[in-house]
Structures are given as C-alpha cells and as structure tokens.
Structure 1
Amino acid sequence: MILVSGPLKLRVKISLLNEKSVFLKGISIHDENPLVEGRLRTEGDMRMMLEWAKDLGCNFVRLAHYTHNEKMIRLADEMGLMVWAEIPVYWTISWENEATYQNAENQLLAAIERDKNRASVIIWSVGNETPVTEARNKFMGNLVSKVRSLDDSRLVAAALEVEREGYTVTVDDPLGAKLDLASFNEYGGWYWDKPGELSKYTFDIHFDKPVVITEFGGGALAGFHGVKKTMWSEEHQEFIYEEQLKMLNKIDGLRGMTPWILVDFKSPRRQHPVYQNFWNRKGLISETGEKKKAYFVLQNYYESLD
C-alpha cells in the first residue's frame, strides 16, 4: 500500500496498491464459528470465513472489534486480502481512568508488535462508535499518536460518530481530524428511517479524506421470505442493501466499505424469540452457511467495480 499526499498536505489522499488506485471491497468479520459453537479454532475454520469473503468479491476484511487470531492475519496474507485491524475500544468506557487507557494502549502495542510485518494489514483502528466528549477525544487522540510512534507506514482510523438532521448525515467528529480516513458506521433503513427513504439522504463530511463506510446493514432470518417491506425477511434485507448502495454511491471520495456482517453471530442482546433467538441476524450468511439474498446484491455490486 502506497500513501500519496494530496494538495492540502493531508496524511493520505489516495490509496494505491501496486501503483493502482484501489477500492476497498470489504466485509466485517467476527472471530466466531457459525457452524460449531464458539470461536474460530482451526486454520480450516478461518480459511472458510476468508473464502466466503473472497467469494463475495472482497479484497478487504474488517476484523472487528478486537485483535483476531494471528493465523487469521497470516491466512489473509496468503489469500491476498487486505485487513482492517482493530482494538476493543467500543462505545462508552472510563475515558479518564489511566488504567483503562493503559489497557487500550497495551492491546494496541501488542497488536502492532505482532502484526507489523504482515503485508495484509493496511489499517490500524483505535476504536468503534465512541461517543464524543473532551475526555474521549483526548483518550482516542493519544491512541492515534501512539500508533504513529509505533508504525507510521499504515493508515490510522476509527469508526467515527455521525449526526443526522432531516435528510443530512453529518460527519464532523473531531477525532476525524487526526485520522487518515473519514470512516463511520450508519444504519439507514434499519435503525433509522425506511429503506425507501434513503435516496433522499446526503452526506456532509467535514474531512477531505478517503471515505470508508465501516458498517451498514440490517437483519434477516435466513429462509424467511416476504415482500420487501416485511421486517426480518430476506427480501427486506435485500432492499436495504439495494437502497444503501444507491445512497452511498453519491458520496464524493467513497473508497471502500465493510458492511455488517459476513455471518450471523451469537448475541445475548438479540432476544426476539422468533427472528433472533440470541443471534445477531445482520449476517449475509446464516449460522448454517446459507447465503441470504442480500449477499448476492453486494456480490454483484463488487463485481461491477472490477
């Protein structure tokens, strides 16, 4: 990965791979085996997940929201997949607690020390969806500085906070000024508004940097079908993806995405007894390996970018 500065002397303006501009065709992945309860245990488990990502058309994976097994990184090297590597700084934590900061910094140091020579790792992420406060800005900013002191050869990012007013999504999280990407999560059509309304939205991004959408999507129970407005149906998830991709294509500077998520995964917070049953159903593939209709929407989109 070669980094080229732009006219405003930003750290990164364009990303090149083998001297060619690259769009990061990605997907988010958890370290969880959908077929056998528990974590990915063997190289075969991990290879299966990355093969599914490659079949989807990906050249990039976001290993969220913590440091994954070293074998996963080595397999990404072997299989030619670029990697977003992340530490578990997530939502609201004790921003002013020095021990909490040291914990985060130690995890960052361990990840970079272990994987700094892995060609697949192109992005170090310092966190995900952390609400903006002065204490948080200082905490996260210090992590960014620490990354740069340890490895100044790669991009530094995080999933930033966004705001909505009317049909405008604003990205002006102050942490973005310190990062190399304008990267953020958004769940239009699922947690906010309806899929059919997404075409009305525009993005006001306050950073002249490459844009990477780190999460979007919606839930569907594999095998449950209905019309496109039927919640939890494969058709509804498919509709969300169709409208999301139309909306995101209007963003100037869009250079990649890692929708949430490759495979359904266990989640104690997802308690609907019919459609969830303690599974997060945002996967494009079910816990039995069944590809949902939205999988093919994203696959076709990625194929169109070749």
Structure 2
Amino acid sequence: MRVVSGIQPTGGLHLGNLLGAILRWVRMQDEAECLFFLADLHALTIDVDPAKLRANVREMAAALIASGIDPAKSTLFAQSAVPAHPELAWILNCTARMGWLNRMTQFKEKSGKSREGASVGLFTYPVLQAADVLVYQATHVPVGEDQKQHIELARDIALKFNNDFDVELFIPPEPFIGGGTAARVMSLRDGSAKMSKSDPSEQSRIHLTDSDDEIAQKIRKAKTDPEPLPEDPDQLEQRPEAKNLVGIMAAMTGETPAAVLQRFTGQGFGMFKPALADATIALLEPLRKRLIELRQDEAALDAILAAGAEKASALAAPTLAEAYRAVGLRQ
C-alpha cells in the first residue's frame, strides 16, 4: 500500500487542518508507505506573492513536522522540486476530456462569477492532482468529501490512458479510509461553514501558533446557542455551532461525540467552553513550541525537503519514463 497526499502552502495551519487531515496523516505513517507533499504548483492557480510562497513552503513543512509527520517514516517534499509532476500532468491533460473537467464542482465554486477570468490552471488543476498520485503508483489517497470527485477523475484518466495505449501502467487509486476518523471542523463563528484561512474573521479559526490566551479567548467567544447540551448527539443536528464544538472536543480527546455529551449532559456552554479551551491548549502547546524551534533552522528544513524530493524523484522516474514510451516520445 502506498499513500500520497498533498496540502497547499497557503499560510499557517489551523485547527481544522490539524484535526481534519494532518493528525490522520500522522496515524497513517504506521499503516502504509506515505508520501506527503507541499502543493506549491497548485498554489499558482490564484494570484501569489513569490516571496510569500517561498516562505510558506518552509512554514508548512515546519508545521507538518511539528504536528508529527516524521521524515524518517514518510517522504516529505515540495511538489515543484519533482518535475515529474508537471511533466506527467501535460501528458494526462491530453488524455483527460473537457467534459470531465466541466463536471468538477470545485472549479465552479472557486471561479465563482468570474469563470472567464479564472486561470487555465484553476480549470485543469484536477489533472495535475491526478498526476501527483499516478506518478507514484499510489494505491490509496486520503480525501475528504469535497475531493472524492477528483479521485474519480484520476481513476478515469488512469483507465483511459491504459486503454488508449494498450498498457497497464497506471493503478486506478482508491480513497483511503485508514488513519482513523477525520473531524470536519467548522468556523467558530458559523457552524455551517468550514474553518478556513480565507475567512476574514480571525475569530473564526484557531491557528497552531495562537497563544494559550488567544485560544481561550477565541473559544470563549465562539458562537453557540442558549440551550443546554443534550444526551443524544442526534439532537445536535439542528444546532450547528453546538455540534461543531462537541465534535472538536471529541476529535481532540479521542472520544465519540456521545461520550463527550455524557460528560456534559444538561450543562451549558459556560461550563463546556473552559473544558474545550483546556483540551485545545493541551493539544496545541507542544506543537507550537516544536514549530517555533523548527522555524529557527531553515537549513535543516531545506535539507529535509531536498532529501524528500530526491527520494520522490527516484520513485516517480520509472512511471514517467513508461508514460513517455507509451505515447511514443521515448524508445
């Protein structure tokens, strides 16, 4: 089993990234061979500040390592440091079909009303995403609900390429359900919206770098309702902010939402929020300290990423060479 996944280096990690993906990645390291990359080529699909992008790659690498990604167990690298990604993406662009990409809902969401003004890269980035996975012969890809469509596209591209050129080169990847459950963390200001870096309100998210006081303050001000906590999780379905905070507590303590509610049934958020703040601080404080240490040694971070890129390039080279041969560009 080989697992591949990436994350865009668009700024510091927040609690939603940590509970929704990164801690799951950490657990995966003991279940499969893992390659994790910083998707800096994908970051180019919107306007970027070059200096900020370079800094963000290091910052994200430090945050991942601080969170538990172990370069001795997993291959950690920057996507742009392995040219096989964009090279294979061009070949696969010639295999993918416009109709397939037109059905990708994320392009419609991200381009909004300015579809004609969106970059071509934003439209075709699911093909680069397919190359990210297929170039390593990945068997499984950990994805959230919003990315399942892209895994289906990668499977379609793999099968069409194999059929078009009468080869068995690409493995159609499967969604990976290992690594335990991933929490879907919503905004602290709106229980119907995901916690996001793009939200204009700093109060909507908790950063890994937030101080203990900032964490406690953000949780204290998190939007809730006046009702006490119920015993049955199903009774939270119409209470999105309450459901979100209970889910965050469950993800951090390793409990089920039902177990969390058992401890707090009948209590209001005046009692629940301090306990949630304490649990959040206990999880994030050692990560924050480690992140600060890692930031201070840029050369060490660069060395880790360079070693990861060298290993990833060696893994990708045979597949890329076979793809070139299949389409007639190599002997």
Structure number with higher strand proportion = 1
TM-score, length basis structure 1: 0.31
Larger RCO (alpha carbons 8 Å, 6+ apart): 2
Larger Rg: 2
